[in-house]
Structure 1
Amino acid sequence: MRTASVDGVPVFHAEGPPPLSAGLVFGVGRRDETFVRGGLTHLVEHLAMSAVGRTPYDSNASVDLVRTEFTASGTPDQVREFLDRICRALRDLPVDRLRVEADVLRTEGGAAAPPAVGSLLSERYGLVGPGLAGVREPALTSLTADDVREWARTRFTRQNAALWVTGPLPEGLALPLEEGAPPARPPLWRAEVTTPGWLESAAAGAVSIGAELPPGLAGSVTLEILRRRVEDELRHRRGVAYAVGADRLPLDADTRFGVVVTDVRPGQENLAAAVLWREVQRLVGEGPGPEELQHERTALGALLDDPRARTEEVVAHAEARVTGVPVHDVDDMRRELAALTTEEIRETAARLCDGALLGVPEPLDPVPAGLTRVPPWSAEAVPGRVFQRRRLTGVPKGTTLVVGDDGVSAVLEQGTITVRWADAVGLVRQGPGEFQLVGRDGFTVPLSVSDWRDGEEALALVREAVPDELQVDDDDVDEPAGLLLFRAPEHRVREAIAMSNHGATVLGNDEWTAVVADDAPDFAVRLAELSAPLGRRTVALTLRRTHADLEYVLFRGRKEVARHRWGIAPADPRPLAEAVLRPEESVARLHDAAGTIHEIAEEAVAALGLPAQVPALLAGEPVVEGQRIEGTGAFGGFRASMRGDFVPGQGKGTRLERYQELARRRPGWFRAVNVVAALVYGVLLWLIVSYRDDLGSWRAAIFGVLMGLGLLNAVWDARPPRRPAAPDPVAVPADRTPTG
């Protein structure tokens, strides 16, 4: 192996078979992120590779717990070109693709470690550092262009990079990376977990065991011997497993996390856990047999003698340079392997046994001797204000929520879940009024305002205590809700919004009214709130845009009746044509429209009579024309309606609305009609009372109530109209005479 330097980046290269292969490695991975900003490294990698585009040679990139790597294989010119393009892309990321790549990562659903391993890491190290390998990235779509640019500028630098090459260095090789200091990493944080212990893992169909191990070849040999024993028992003897794997993850210069994982047939999880724990204890007590140790010496010796080992050595040295984890060369490993003893294996197995976490997908029954359950509850609750649960919710009876100066506790009959402010790593909004407060130790307190009396106050206290940078929206909340339009007069929509619990801005024309929400509720909540007061037959239309397409969804009340996505598949134009009273041929032509999202939106405005601002609103432009309506609830909205806040324009509205307007103004002729009506109702009521025996008691009562209500309404509407308030007197200067 030889070393060199290119533009300040250390290079490790050795001869190898063609084609020429190279890898640019950076010392940044999932462990360097935070819970709420998870995915930054992966986004940088995706954006850089998207800038490179398709290549006629093999190229790839990957992100794991501790490093990011860009690789290519091809001719020297191809490899040189790839490395140059990657370096330039990292300096100027194509952030216009940020939202697309964020959604790609959401679809990919990748993790820095398999679920069975990630679960153990999260239990041991919490939701920081290597423990982040066990949780998904909750807020990818909240990351901004500035976020990823800054991450690339400070992490993807020449001081945090190394290059490995198998073959001669390409002529003219350049690595134009940013300057920057290597990022400082805090020491490993460990959760207070009593070991050896067992826990319920989120990995279905897998049983795993893991613990911290010291550096050195003894750890790898110990894990491999344990793996073979478990495989012999579960696969070859019992037939309840197929694949048993072992791995040793480097976390820092002095710490490795060793794991053995086995899949298992459903219903055999307890058996697999018992076998795994038994073999660990047996290896501690008996050590490896002579044939087992000799087998490992032979197998590892063959790997070290393979000519490809020298090639792998340059990769290991490049990774060691950026991760800070020392690496031994092939000759050192041969000497260490030759000196390995049975006692070293027993001592390493004892370290594994004492620090073991055993992950199972369901509770152990019975629990093997020597294992205790990792507590699923917090040690204590915080003092503070107590909030009682609301009835008819999913919260168990007797549960209380405590919000105090130190943190939050959910106190149940079975135990307590506490997250202290100092340990909070995220407050994640999961829907309207739905949050989760996540602690560094992995405990999570669900917060739903509808679950607790004075729930809004409880949530306000929590949001005030948690720093703003830790408050994010879950990606699942960020699904495109679209622009909501009602085929109803604007004054009716304004009245419906006022009677709901959430405000919005409205704008419209004589036929359609657009509702632009700027607060908590999502599309489904908004549609449900407004459809009821507007009427079950009211037509609602939502226009949704994705990265490449525009789609509409047609509703009658809250029921979906049709949808269409332009450019994807044909759809029946009849439901939309009937709902909006347009010719079917016109809607069919609209369905066949082609072009950009903006162009199709403009055609929809022309064909359906939508407000002219629709294309701009779909593009995310601010509302420049519109009226903000506050949601005041049913009672507040009713009062506003009675005051006449939602009176339609002259000559507009339904007959009922026009009558309500007359009842507010009460012109002379209207009052006279009501005086006559009051006399008529009075006479009829007198006749009913006089002839109640002939009518029968129940008929007389019904007619009497109806006539009485009519009489009261007529008398009320016969009142003189309210006089407008007198204007404030205007002072007239002494030297001026007011004109007539």
Structure 2
Amino acid sequence: MTGELRETEVDGVPVFWVPGERRMRGSLWFRVGLADESLPRHGWLHLLEHLALHDRDSIRAPINGCVSMLHTSFDIEGEPDDIAAFLQQLCGWLSAPDFTDLEHEQRVLRAESATRRPGPVDLHMLWRYGAQGPGLVAYDEYGLHTADPERLRSLAAQAFARGNAVLALTGPPPAGLRLPLGDGSRWPVREAIPCKQPLPAGFAGPPGAVALSGVLPRSNEGPTLVRSLRRGLEGGFRHGAGLGYSGWSSYELVDAENAMVTAGIDILPEARPTVTAEVMSVLRRLRDRGPDPTDLRDDLEQEIQRVKAEPAETWMPYLAAREALLGRPVKSRDQLIAEAEATAVEGVRQAAFAMWSNLLVSVDPDAATDPQLNWLSGPPPAPSVVTGQHFKPAGWPVTKGRLTVGRDAAQIETPAGETSASYGELAVVVAYPDGGRQLIRRDGYQVQIEPEYWKDGRQAILAVDAAVSPALRVPMPAREPETIPRSRVTRRDKAEYWLKKPEVWVMAALLFAVILAFATSTRIDDLLRRIIATGVVAGVVFYFSRRRN
């Protein structure tokens, strides 16, 4: 039957396919994605994907690769013979990688990374998960600076094994298809662990925008809820007040059983005073009453028609590959339709209630906040006092603050607050040749130590390097001299600082008076009277000057 999902096996790799009427497409999937990386190795999978496809593209058979949150895939479109030849060559490379072009692809991906900016969904992943798991999507690919052939080869052997692969095709497997992958087992799916922080919460997001997210167990109610949220935002800001543009929504898997749902809309500056309250009211209505029954019926009918009308070859093999690799049942078209038909107002309301309990809202930095949100603007207090060697700012006393470097943690204190980093909680240490160190914690907060900013700053850096595991260090290229943070306080600034202090003038006057007394008096009792009188006058002047300040 046309549109029916078929399953077979080639060289130990499961193959899902659906008979198609268009040009054949093949997609080789592996159960490993960026959420499985660590921050020092973030980008290794992307690098391997690029190397595996280097110089393989053609007009006759275009190819592509993708590293997503939980999967890595290699895609090709063409004639069956082209697809068979490509997949055999690709699997051969994945089993025995050639790193001749390693430096070239590293430069290419570094250039690409330099232009990439995290979007709203990336930022919500970051604030929710920090510098690990799904939160890595918001970070630079530091692994492009740590990769070497030996470790890349070890990763490829584990990630691209036949036990970790599934092939999706839009037609029966081509004659003579071979998938010569190495032996290996399925890569386990790690649970996405959010940061410990009070929720619901808000944070300053991109200017001119608002977005809200929550994590829900996978079900049909999640996508239905996020579509309702998008319509609610558009109804309030675009169609109602006329202060917003098009809304958008996202449904992103974070592990095998859960997904982050996100909805947002761009807003005009005039919406800032009420934007947070309006967004909260949209979710609150869904939490308390659920979606409008008529709207829900129309929404689900549209989704059902889309599933019925969309050619199975365009989505069914890929959905099957994704779910099989996650250890979840592969559903038929009829099962997906039945799930949609069973979705009710109460189920969506319960999903909204669950979203409320772990809600994150990002708003324009100039927008008003909501008293029901815990505002996330800085790291939580350190669990213990950081002890160790203390360093003053190079601009002291004009610049206030203190750096403490101990055996187990480092801490920076400024008039704005303090941030500490326990070495045991670090995700990475970004190291620059000039001595700059960026200590990024697993919750995403960081301590940045710049030796030029502190007195004896080089000594502080040596102490940090001696205490932190070398495995966490990412050596970065040299920075341009003008971009290196350093103290801008000059000697003149320090002199002016002291000259503005009344006590300095009082002490100077007292010292001058004492010298004058010694120079003009020959009797001890007369000298003491002059010193005491001068001290009293100086004390009175100092008291009233401090009181005035």
TM-score range, shorter chain: 0.7 to 0.9
What's 1:317 paired with? Answer: 320
- Contact conserved, 2:393 with 2:401, CA < 8 A, in 1? no
TM-fit CA distance, 1:40:
0.3
C-alpha distance in 1, partners of 2:114/2:175?
Answer: 37
Whether 1:296 and 2:299 are equivalent positions in the alignment is yes
Match of residue 79, structure 1, among 58, 64, 83: 83
Aligned twin of 2:232: 229
**C-alpha separation in 1, matches of 2:343 and 2:398:** 57
Considering Cα pairs closer than 8 Å and 6+ residues apart, tell me whether 1 or 2 has the greater RCO.
2
Deviations along 1:700-740, whole A, 9 cap, x unmatched?
A: xxxxxxxxxxxxxxxxxxxxxxxxxxxxxxxxxxxxxxxxx
Deviation at 1:240, TM superposition (A): 3.5
- Kindly report which structure 2 residues correspond to 1:511-526, keeping only aligned pairs within 5 A, or say none: none
Residues in 2 aligned to 1:16 and 1:415: alpha-carbon distance in whole angstroms: 62
Cα distance 1:241–1:111, how it changes in 2: closer, same or farther (>3 A)?
farther
Structure 2, unaligned runs of 5 or more: 485-549
Q: How many residue pairs end up in the alignment?
A: 479
Whether the 8 Å contact between 2:388 and 2:407 is mirrored in structure 1 is no
State which of 23, 32, 43 in structure 1 corresponds to 2:47. 43
CA distance in 2, matches of 1:82, 1:391: 60
Amino acid at match of 2:353: A
Query: 2:18, 2:312 within 8 Å by CA — same for their partners in 1?
Result: no
Question: Secondary structure of the residue that 1:242 maps to in structure 2?
Answer: strand
**Which residue matches 1:251?**
254
Deviation at 1:467, TM superposition (A): 0.7
Give me the TM-score of the superposition, normalised by structure 2.
0.82
Contact 2:69–2:253, Cα closer than 8 Å, also in 1? no
Instruction: Report the alpha carbon displacement of residue 368 of structure 1 after superposing the two structures with TM.
Output: 2.1
Paired position in structure 1 for 2:365? 362
Q: Secondary structure at the match of 2:237?
A: helix
Residue 477 of structure 1 aligns to which amino acid in structure 2? A
Question: Shift of residue 110 of structure 1?
Answer: 8.4
Distance 1:451 1:176 in 2: 55
The 3-state SS of whatever aligns with 2:74 is strand
Query: Pick from 3, 7, 14: which aligns with 2:7?
Result: 3
Q: Residue 113 of structure 1 contacts residue 133 of structure 1 at CA under 8 Å; is this kept in 2? A: no
Alignment of 1:99-498 (within 5 A): 99-109=103-113, 115-201=119-205, 203-265=206-268, 268-269=271-272, 271-309=274-312, 311-324=314-327, 326-365=329-368, 367-380=369-382, 382-392=385-395, 397-474=399-476, 476-477=477-478
- For residues 419 and 159 of structure 2, the distance between their equivalents in structure 1, rounded to whole angstroms, comes to 36
Residues in 1 aligned to 2:132 and 2:421: alpha-carbon distance in whole angstroms = 15
User: Distance in 2 between the 1:401 and 1:416 partners?
Assistant: 10
The equivalent residue for 1:61 is: 65
Deviation larger for 179-188 or 114-123: 179-188
Is 2:9–2:15's contact at 8 Å kept on the other side of the alignment?
Answer: yes
Preserved CA contact (<8 Å) 1:27 1:66: yes
| SS in structure 1 of the partner of residue 54 of structure 2 | helix
Contact 1:382 1:409 in 2 (8 A): no
Q: Give the direction of change, closer, same or farther, for the CA distance of 1:468–1:352 in structure 2 (3 Å limit).
A: same
TM-score after normalising by structure 1: 0.61
Unaligned runs of 5+ in 1: 480-521, 526-740
Pick the aligned partner of 1:16 from 11, 14, 20.
20
Q: Give the Cα–Cα distance (whole angstroms) in 1 for the partners of residues 143 and 173 of structure 2.
A: 41
Q: What one-letter code is carried by the residue in structure 1 that aligns with 2:373?
A: L
Shift of 1:176: 1.0
Residue equivalent to 2:74: 70
Please state whether the residue corresponding to 1:425 is helix, strand or coil.
strand
> How far has the Cα of 1:226 moved from its partner?
1.0
Q: Secondary structure at the match of 1:441?
A: coil
- Measured in 1, the distance between the counterparts of 2:269 and 2:144 equals 34
Aligned residue for 1:253, secondary structure, equals coil
Distance in 2 between the 1:265 and 1:30 partners? 34
Contact 1:23 1:163 in 2 (8 A): yes
Amino acid at match of 2:478: V
Asked whether the equivalents of residues 145 and 474 of structure 2 are also in contact (C-alpha less than 8 Å), the reply is no
CA separation of 1:144 and 1:78: change in aligned 2, threshold 3 A: same
Q: Show the counterpart of 1:598.
A: none
Cα gap change, 1:324/1:239 in structure 2, threshold over 3 Å: closer, same or farther? Answer: farther
- The 3 A distance-change label for structure 1 pair 313 and 460 is same
2-structure distance, mates of 1:396, 1:448: 18
Q: Which of the pair has more CA radius of gyration?
A: 1
Deviation at 1:53, TM superposition (A): 4.0
C-alpha change, 1:252 and 1:73, in structure 2 (3 Å) is same
Q: Deviations over 1:361-413 (max 9, x none)?
A: 41542x224212025133126321242323437x9833111222331111222
- Asked if structure 2 preserves the Cα contact closer than 8 Å seen for 1:196 and 1:372, the reply is yes
What's the offset of the Cα at 1:91? 2.5
Secondary structure, aligned partner of 2:100: helix
CA distance, structure 1, for counterparts of residue 331 and residue 204 of structure 2:
37
- Equivalent residues of 1:111, 1:134 under 8 A apart: no
Cα deviation for residue 347 of structure 1 reads 0.8
Alpha-carbon distance, 1:193 to partner: 1.2
Give 3-state SS (helix, strand or coil) of 2:29's partner: strand
1:234 corresponds to which letter in structure 2?
A: F
RMSD of aligned Cα (Å): 2.5
1:416-460 per-residue CA deviation (whole Å, 9 max, x = no partner) reads 211111111111123402111111011110111222233222212
| Alpha-carbon distance change, 112 to 167 in structure 1, aligned in 2, over 3 angstroms | farther
